[in-house]
Homo-oligomer: A and B are copies of this chain.
Amino acid sequence: MSDTESTASVEVDADVALDFDDGLLPAVAQDAETGDVLMLAYVDPEALAHTQETGYAHYHSRSRDELWKKGGSSGHVQRVREVRVDCDGDALLYRVEQEGGACHTGFESCFHRTLDGETVGERAFDPDEVYGDDADEAATDGDP
C-alpha cells in the first residue's frame, strides 16, 4: 500500500473481487503486533479507497451515513499495514498499528467483555480526558 497507488476504483484496482452488493462490507481491525481483534466496523468503496490512499483506517459510519476516519477526533488512529479479504470477498481484515486504544470507552479493544459481562480487556486511556464532555466527539470516534 502506498500513497502513489491508484485507488480511484476499488473494483478495478484490486486483484480480488469484492462483493459490495449490499453497499457495505464488514471490516475487522486487528492489531498487527499483538493479534488482538480491536473492533468491527463497515466500509464502502469510498472508505476503502481512503484507507488505501492514506494508509489510515477509514470506515463508513452507518449511524451518520458518512465517511469516518478512525481516530479523527481522538487521535487514536489506525495505521494500516495490510488489508486482507476473505475467501468469498465479502469481509475485510485491516491489520493495523493502533494509536492509543481502539474503543471509545477507553479500552484497547471494543471486544473487552465476555457475553456474561466479565471484563477481559485492558484499559488504554481515560475517555473523559480524551473526549471531555463532548459526547458527540466520542460518538464520532466510536460509533461504527
A82 and chain B: residue at smallest CB distance: B114
Interface residues of A (CB under 8 A from B): 14-16, 26, 28, 30, 34-37, 39-40, 52, 82-88, 91-93, 103-105, 107, 110-117, 120, 142-144
A-B contact pairs, 21 of them (CB 8 A): A14-B115, A14-B117, A28-B28, A30-B37, A35-B35, A35-B36, A37-B37, A37-B93, A52-B115, A82-B114, A83-B114, A83-B115, A85-B111, A85-B113, A85-B115, A87-B105, A87-B107, A87-B112, A87-B113, A88-B144, A93-B111
Question: CA–CA, A144 to B93, complex, Å?
Answer: 16
A contact face: mostly helix, strand, loop, or mixed: loop
